[in-house]
Amino acid sequence: MNRWTQWPSRQALTRQGVPPVRLMINTGMWVFGASLLLWDVVRDDAFPRWARIVLLAAVAGCAATVYAFRRVTVDHRLGPALALLALLLGAGVALRAVGADNPAAAVWIVGVIVSLERLPLMVGLPAGIVAAGSFTLFGDHSLPAGLAAGLGFLLVGYTLRLDEEARGTGYRLLEQERAARRAEAQSAALAERARIAREIHDVLAHSLSAQLVHLEAARLLVERGEDRAMVLERVVAARRMARHGLAETRQALYALRGEMAPVEDFLRESAATEGARFETEGEPRELAAEAGLAVRRVAQEALTNVRKHAPGARVEMRLVYRIDEVLLEIRDGGAREASAGGPAAAGAGYGLRGMRERAELLGGTLEAGPADGGFVVRLRVPA
């Protein structure tokens, strides 16, 4: 029932999505038909000259009525559309009454086609039947020929309706696909912004805050007139943090540009620098950028915590390639002191809490806690 009461879509009733060649063909057909009709009126000697002028004006009025009908149907305005269609069919009757058979037949034929093409079927089909009946009953032809022609015009109108609805549906699907692509691109841009924001925060926020702590301590020591060596120690510590932050910033930029060294090489180099033991299990493979970056950051944080809270402790680092994930485990044998402030102590780097959030964003997990008299950090991320 909905199909009978539903209007053709706006896309079907307009020129949206119509190829330029199709538009040229449609326009050419309308111009050709109108030209033939006007020429028939002009050369009809059955009417005096003034009457032919009136007929030309009447035909032009019918064309204007068809144009107005097409415009109001775009906005799905049923009342004005029916009024204009009735005016058009009435004009056909008037033209037939004065003997202008061909213009009258053309008006009725157009009425049949546009009724089926542009109105809801519940209204358009009866209106088309009325127009076809007018053509059949009042036309200059036999009844069987009129019925066959009227039925053919009804089929033409319905065929045009189906064609335009199919085009409108295709256009709507294309617009939906374009909107989905725009939304996907926007989502990707937002995700990339969030990724850059995390990198900036992880690399700079803690590094700069640690520098501020050391510099503020140096200022207080200077104001109190403390030993120069103590002030120098704070300044040197702040400089060391600045260099470390600069190096990490460069690594983050390399990561954002996809210019990072393989994860395994990075971990092996970091382990060698810290004097840790490093081993791998499984079949090595290249990791996605976000997964590789998470492994790097967690390794850096864990090694920084060992250096800060358990200097000289034996450290073991293990990277395991599994079917759908990678596991990074960093274990040390030293004891943690309560006064150290735990793994997320100030100045300890990026903070395991931030690393845990990073892992969860990737659909992974990060576990950290005491184990066998030492401390273990275990990261799992899909890869």
Here the tokens at position 219 are 């200022």
Per-position pLDDT tens, the chain of length 383: 577 888 888 878 887 666 777 668 777 777 777 777 777 766 666 667 777 788 888 888 888 898 899 899 988 899 999 999 999 888 888 888 888 878 888 888 888 888 988 889 888 889 889 888 888 877 777 788 878 888 888 898 888 888 888 887 887 888 888 888 888 888 877 776 776 676 666 666 667 777 788 788 888 888 888 778 888 888 888 887 777 777 667 666 666 666 566 788 888 888 887 788 999 998 888 888 778 888 888 888 888 788 777 777 889 999 999 988 999 999 988 754 443 443 333 343 456 777 788 788 888 999 988 887 888 999 999 98
Domain boundaries of the chain, sorted by first residue = 2-181, 261-383
Here the tokens at position 133 are 């009946």
Q: Give the CATH fold of the 261-383 domain.
A: Heat Shock Protein 90 (3.30.565)
Residue pair 340/309 in contact by the 8 Å Cβ criterion: yes
Question: What CA–CA distance (Å, rounded) separates 149 from 143?
Answer: 10
- CA dihedral sign, ordered 353, 359, 364, 368: negative
- CA dihedral sign, ordered 32, 33, 36, 37: negative
Q: What string of DSSP letters covers 179-236? A: HHHHHHHHHHHHHHHHHHHHHHIIIIIHHHHHHHHHHHHHHHHHHHT--HHHHHHHHH
Give buried/exposed letters for 86-121 (b at 16+ CB in 10 A, else e).
eebbebbeebbeeebbebbbbbbbbbbbbbbbbbbb
